[in-house]
Structure 1
Amino acid sequence: MGTNYAMSSSTTTSDRIGTDSAPVGDVTGAAVRASGTAAARATGGFGQRRRYHEVDLLRLVAALGVLGFHFLFRASTTDPVFAHTGFHDPGGIFHYGNLGVPLFFVISGFVILNSAWNRTPIRYLSSRIGRLYPAFWTACTFTALIMAFDPTGRFSVSFQQWIQNLSMASEAYGVDYVDGVYWTLTIELAFYLVILAFVRIGITTNRVIALGLGWLAISMFALHHPAPDWLNLILVPAWAPYFVAGMFFALVARDRWRWKYVPPLVVAYGVCGRYAIHYFNAQTDYYHVLFSPWVVAAVITAIFAIFAAIVSGLRVPGAAKVAWLAGLTYPLYLIHENVGFISLDFLHHDLGLNRYLVLGLTIAGVCGIAWALHVLVENRFSRPLAELITRVWLRIRGAVLARVPALSER
């Protein structure tokens, strides 16, 4: 268990409200941005063009919650244990850290819709590939190497498993994840593909509302009538309500509060709460530890309340000064679980070091690796990869249109 953050992924310049990045000097990109700005003005504007540092802080909270869940609860409560840490959910609170996952998905819905608005399909797709895959390929490879030489003997990985995991969709063909947190990335990919189809059709406010309500209806239906596996993989009905909630909050951020946004958000809140309680009831059975439905409902309520406050103008003093740390959340999410388990078990169980020292060293270690991934991989390769994909596509498209002019009329 692990966001996108997916975890959702950290907001880049192209993820800011009302912006659309393109390769420097690209005339088509400039035209898209210009037309996008004009269209936005025609539909009531984008609201405030700014980076939501408060959302970055929420991303940090979600990442720390998931890390605490893994290191202080999950590592030592499974059978067999992933790591002998000496910690067994101190205070009885860290098993709730997994509520960071729904928060990640709400953030993703908020960020990705704004990132996709007024973009062409290829620019949206290339930006997502560039944003996710370089760090993922590196983290997956690093984790596989650590597992291959695991001194604790608790983890193993095959070459074929590693290769198939590089697609980020190994679940689709029944291959175990190299690291358990990757399951959320498959869900993120499903959401990205839905938005890609939406970009192709053309994003408008009313279409977002229609998509959101339709997706919520499918989710509610799936609560009582289990969907086939292929539909679950594509439409992720158990997790879609969180993405939809983020999308509706993105509409409010772009267009301010309007009555037409309130009923969809109320419905999204109800469906999110229902799915959260359903999911954490299953977690109670799995871990044999109570996940109180009252606590779960309170956290979901807090997520909605905080987002409502943020899109209504809430400003957190000093948020901009620490929000840069949100750039570390995606690589930290990717790297922390199995690498952290191996470190915790080896240092505490095998070497006999003090558990608090081991916890501190492990957290510092995975944070250091995350920083290296962010600086050496994300910052260097994400944008160049996105631009390369865009250039290659435009050249291929230009060559095809030159040979088959009739296609340009469609």
Structure 2
Amino acid sequence: MTRVIAAGPGARKDRLAALDGLRFLAALSVVLFHFVGQTPGAMIVVWGRPYRSTFPQLHGYFAFGRLGVDLFFLISGFVICMSAWGRTPRDFFISRVTRLYPMYWIAIVVSVCFVYFADSPFGHPNPRLLFANFTMLQTPLGVANLDPVYWTLWPELCFYLTFAVVVWKGLTHQRVVIFCGLWTVAAVLAPAAHIPLLTLIVNPTSAPYFIAGMAFHLMYRYRPTPLLWGIVAMSWLLALHFLLAPHGGRNNWATWSPWRGWLILLTTVLFLLVGAIALGWTRRIRWRGLTVAGTMTFPLYLLHDTIGMTVAHHYGDRVDPSVLVAVTVSALVVLAYLVHRFVERPIALAMRRSLNTGAFGLPAPTRRS
């Protein structure tokens, strides 16, 4: 007999303010990493000297801001599983397209304008690179990202693509658990299989965070079980395995030599924070400001690099770098809110209305007489 796990109080579809707050914290940490904590010697063209020399007191702390991306992926696993529950594949497709593409296209236009008209330190993109980036498929096409921060979008797209199969079958506790198990196995085997296409789709270094996020959502929606804790524990171990590979993975810690204990501790804290939300320990947090902050994270993440680096490039030798970073980050937060409120959201709503109209092109439209 199949055991049925009853839905707990987390099955309701309220917005989690604490999760929005974490999302904003993740974006802010990445921003500060790019402006203050990059690998020693990187991006000398921006500040005119290595980051560690520019920010001798702050660099060591904000170097860990790169872990904000890991928190992004953890939250994404939780949120996508939650928002896709009970939706059709069409609903899931429309929600993802209207969530990603409007702001992404806006960011590309802004980046191009800064590159060509604001003397950005980034090189001028050729038409092939630009067209490929507009598709958001530049990674499988073998084309460079117009802005380095765009690299995170490919793991997200792969997650959506593979998870759409489960959405098509209908999300259940059992199916999501099986999906987590299969993805874990694939993430472990992909590096040893030496099959580039498999590694490209599975994204072994990012997969543990998405998987743990989904398991945390199942805890929130139903209740914690030994199996779900086992999935989270395995994901945590794999995340640390890939994170600490000295010359592999995304962080490549050998190039900046942090104390590995901090990497382990901070990664563990990220898992514990999302776990606290999954267990319902943050339900009393309902401050609307966190929800507003959550809506600004995607614009802030996509816009900060090109704009911030251009500002640093022009004023880094004329204004105290710490003051310049503080002012720039504050301005970017305001800009992110304005872009979301007055540009991204109207475009996304128009796209959603358009895509929800009619039969979505399937089946074929009526033939003209």
For normalisation by structure 2, the TM-score amounts to 0.88
Instruction: State which of 371, 374, 377 in structure 1 corresponds to 2:343.
Output: 377
CA contact 1:148–1:157 (8 Å) conserved in 2: no
Q: 1:88 to 1:72 in 2, by over 3 A?
A: farther
Shift of 1:375: 0.8
More displaced 10-residue stretch of structure 1: 212-221 or 273-282: 273-282
Alignment match, 1:57: 21
* Pairing of 1:29-178 with structure 2 (within 5 A): 44-45=6-7, 47-48=9-10, 49=12, 50-74=14-38, 77-78=41-42, 80-84=44-48, 86-88=54-56, 90=58, 92-151=60-119, 153-178=121-146
The answer to whether the 8 Å contact 2:133/2:146 transfers is: yes
After TM superposition, give the deviation of residue 212 of structure 1 in Å: 0.5
Q: Amino acid of the residue matched to residue 362 of structure 2?
A: R
Residues in 1 aligned to 2:59 and 2:43: alpha-carbon distance in whole angstroms: 21
Give the one of 110, 127, 149 matched to 1:181.
149
Kept in 2: contact 1:130–1:384 (CA 8 A): no
SS at match of 1:97: helix
Q: Which residue of 2 aligns with 1:396?
A: 361
Percent sequence identity is 28
Alignment of 1:261-340 (within 5 A): 261-278=228-245, 288-315=255-282, 319-323=286-290, 324-340=292-308
CA contact (8 A) 1:106 1:242 kept: yes
CA displacement, residues 305-353 of structure 1 (integer Å, 9 cap, x when unaligned): 222222212127655232111111100000001221111110123xx12
1:336 match: secondary structure: helix
Measure how far apart 1:89 and its partner are.
Answer: 6.5
Give the direction of change, closer, same or farther, for the CA distance of 1:153–1:322 in structure 2 (3 Å limit).
closer
CA gap of 1:286–1:253, structure 2 versus 1, over 3 A, is closer
Question: Do 1:53 and 1:320's aligned partners in 2 also have CA atoms closer than 8 Å?
Answer: yes
* Structure 1 residue identity aligned to 2:353: E
TM superposition shift of 1:124: 0.4
Name the Cα RMSD after superposition: 2.5
**Corresponding position of 2:213:** 246
Asked if 2 retains the 8 angstrom alpha-carbon contact of 1:190 and 1:234, the reply is yes
Query: Aligned partner of 2:7: which letter?
Result: G
Distance 2:148 2:204 in 1: 20
- Corresponding residue number in structure 2 for 1:5: none
What CA distance in whole angstroms lies between the structure 1 residues aligned with 2:252 and 2:240?
19
1:356 is the counterpart of 2:333: no
The 1:295–1:226 alpha-carbon spacing in structure 2 relative to 1, beyond 3 Å, is farther
For 1:232 and 1:344, the matched residues in 2 are separated by: 36
Contact 1:57 1:319 in 2 (8 A): no
1:75–1:82 CA contact under 8 A, matched in 2: no
1:337 aligned partner, one-letter code: D
Deviation at 1:91, TM superposition (A): 5.3
Taking a change above 3 Å as real, the CA distance of residues 150 and 161 of structure 1, as seen in their structure-2 partners, is: farther
SS of the equivalent of 1:313 reads coil
Using the TM superposition, give the Cα deviation of residue 96 of structure 1 relative to its aligned residue in structure 2, in angstroms. 0.6
AA aligned to 2:24 is L
- The amino acid across from 1:141 in the alignment is V
Which string of whole-angstrom CA distances, capped at 9 and with x for unpartnered residues, describes residues 137-159 of structure 1? 01111111101234355532233
Q: 1:192 aligns with which of 160, 172, 186?
A: 160
- Unpaired stretches in structure 1, ≥5 consecutive residues: 1-41, 404-410
| Matched residue type, 1:264 | I
1:231 counterpart residue number:
198
Native 8 Å contact 2:23 2:294 kept in 1: yes
Does the aligned pair in 1 maintain the 2:66–2:251 contact within 8 Å? no
Alpha carbons 2:37, 2:61 under 8 Å: kept? no
Native 8 Å contact 1:126 1:387 kept in 2: no
Q: CA deviation at 1:268?
A: 1.7
Confirm or deny: 8 A CA contact 1:73 1:88 kept in the other structure: no
* Structure 1 residue 88 displacement after superposition: 5.0
Q: Secondary structure at the match of 2:361?
A: helix
Relative to structure 1, is the Cα distance of residues 279 and 201 closer, same or farther in structure 2, using a 3 angstrom cutoff? farther
Unmatched 5+ stretches in structure 2: none
Q: Which residue does the alignment assign to 1:215?
A: 183
Any idea what the Cα deviations from partners look like across 1:234-262, whole Å, max 9, x if unmatched? 22122111100000001001002223322
Native 8 Å contact 2:37 2:59 kept in 1: no
Structure 2 equivalent of residue 201 of structure 1: 169
Contact residue 139 and residue 154 of structure 2 kept, 8 A? yes
